[in-house]
Amino acid sequence: MGNKRVFYACQGLMLDGKPLYGVQSVSVRTEQNTNVVESWGSLNISGVAVDTPRSTITISRIIASAASGVPQGTGIYGGIGSGDLRSISENHSRQLCLFVSDDTQPGVSERTTDGVSKLSDNTRVISFKDSSINSLSYSISVDGFLTENTEIIAYNKEFNPASGCPLANMDFNKNIKGNPIQRQDISSFNFSNKVPSATIQDVNISIPFNIQTVDEFGTALSRHSKAYRYATFPIASTVSVTAIYQNTNRFDNYMFAEPTGTNTTTCDEMPSDFPQMTEINISTCSNFGVSLSNCILQSIDYGGGDAGGGHATLTYDFVCYNSGIIHG
């Protein structure tokens, strides 16, 4: 017997023909901009022009490695996008399928008499064609799992039947499991010499692409075809790393001082070169990782160590420009 809910928010997600595992939450917001044409000198309006509707899909997932005996290519355990940032930001041809079934339905597919699985009769499908990844973010703490949050935008939405979404041989009901990545599964850190990795408590990475569309003169309000989209440059990725403070020289806050230890006082004494850039890398035992280049330390926050016995912490904030790779 069901638990009296009408339906689950979602019973399956599929990206580019592969099921997404580890999904914790999903939300879809569809909106359209309207432009009012007013009549001069009166309270009347001549009409309302409606722009192309846009859907924003937000997905939260736990990143996992494949369980033993399960092929790595079965389903998506790692990141929702992989490759360098440029290739991810230029891929506007993704297809996302969202499956919704009644609450009492055990899954999105069922077996027929001949043993072939097909979509169950009470399962609905929503398809988002020609979709773009608008942003990616990753977070992990010492007592949690590696979590990925993805924002996808689409201008093509179809509902039941949804072209391009598979209606047979669905494998959501298979007993496919993954091993969620935890802090101890991270094999290496590299956050420059300012952040000792042994005391890191949490890491947060945000990669915004800010996908825009081209407005074309002489046509409709905007051209939302995948050929008319682009990422906003620079792609400024942010990395926040919190570490427990230790009373050693390695934790001294020297970012606002010259290497010689003397502060600059006149324009003639300003350094002639750019601030030193660094690379930031996170690698896990399951081959998933994030590598960012052209990173500059922006700020260091010191706090904590209150009367209740909490640790004193330092939070390092980096900004990385136009360069990076998502592995796995």
Residue-wise pLDDT tens digits, 241-273: 888 877 665 555 544 444 444 444 444 444 444
Q: Do 185 and 282 contact (CB within 8 A), yes or no?
A: no
Rounded-to-integer distance, Cα 32 and Cα 129, Å: 17
Out of 77-86, 195-204, 239-248, 282-291, least confident range: 195-204
The total number of structural domains that make up the chain? 1
* Tally of CB atoms within 10 A around 150: 22
Secondary structure element (H or E) that encloses residue 85, with its range: helix 85-89
What pLDDT band is residue 72 in, cutting at 50, 70 and 90? low
pLDDT of the residue at 21: 84
Q: Do 234 and 293 contact (CB within 8 A), yes or no?
A: no
Sequence letter at residue 322: N
- Structural domain includes residue 168: yes
Residue 30, token pair as written in the block:
């569809």
- Structural domain includes residue 4: no
Secondary structure element (H or E) that encloses residue 326, with its range: strand 324-327
Q: Which residue has the higher pLDDT, 243 or 193?
A: 243
Strand segments, DSSP code E, in 69-122 are 83-84, 94-101, 109-111, 117-119
Q: Which residues contact 199 (CB under 8 A, 6 or more apart)?
A: 243, 244, 246
User: How large a percentage of the chain has pLDDT more than 70?
Assistant: 68
pLDDT tens track for 126-173: 889 889 999 999 998 888 899 999 999 998 888 876 667 776 655 565
Q: Which residue has the higher pLDDT, 80 or 250?
A: 80
Q: Which residue has the higher pLDDT, 112 or 186?
A: 186
- Torsional sign, CA 41, 46, 52, 55: positive
Residue 123, phi then psi, degrees to nearest 5: -105, 130
- Structural domain includes residue 1: no
pLDDT of the residue at 256: 47
Residue 4, token pair as written in the block:
């009296």
Q: Which residue has the higher pLDDT, 325 or 173?
A: 325
Residue 147, token pair as written in the block:
């979590």
Distances from the Cα of 281 to the Cα of 145, 233, 313, angstroms: 18, 22, 21
Calculate mean pLDDT across residues 55-82.
Answer: 79
- Structural domain includes residue 230: yes
- Structural domain includes residue 5: no
Rounded-to-integer distance, Cα 275 and Cα 92, Å: 35
pLDDT tens track for 98-126: 888 766 555 666 555 565 566 666 678 88
- Structural domain includes residue 54: yes
Rounded-to-integer distance, Cα 230 and Cα 213, Å: 7
Rounded-to-integer distance, Cα 147 and Cα 60, Å: 7
Q: pTM for the complete prediction?
A: 0.81
Q: Do 92 and 132 contact (CB within 8 A), yes or no?
A: yes
Out of 23-32, 221-230, 305-314, least confident range: 221-230
**For residue 186, what are the β-bridge partners?**
284
* Tally of CB atoms within 10 A around 98: 23
Task: Pick from 5-9, 73-77, 125-129, 310-314 the range whose average pLDDT is largest.
Answer: 125-129
Q: Residue 45's domain spans which residues?
A: 12-327
Secondary structure element (H or E) that encloses residue 244, with its range: strand 236-244
Give residue for tokens 């297809």.
95
pLDDT of the residue at 208: 95
Instruction: With CA atoms as reference, report the closest residue to 282 among 80, 149, 139.
Output: 139
What pLDDT band is residue 222 in, cutting at 50, 70 and 90? low
Task: Using the predicted structure, report yes or no on whether residue 4 has a pLDDT greater than 80.
Answer: no
Residue 252, token pair as written in the block:
């001294």
pLDDT of the residue at 138: 93
pLDDT of the residue at 41: 78
What pLDDT band is residue 198 in, cutting at 50, 70 and 90? low
Q: Which residue has the higher pLDDT, 211 or 200?
A: 211
Calculate mean pLDDT across residues 5-21.
Answer: 76
- Structural domain includes residue 2: no
- Structural domain includes residue 209: yes
Considering the chain, what is the average pLDDT of its residues? 76
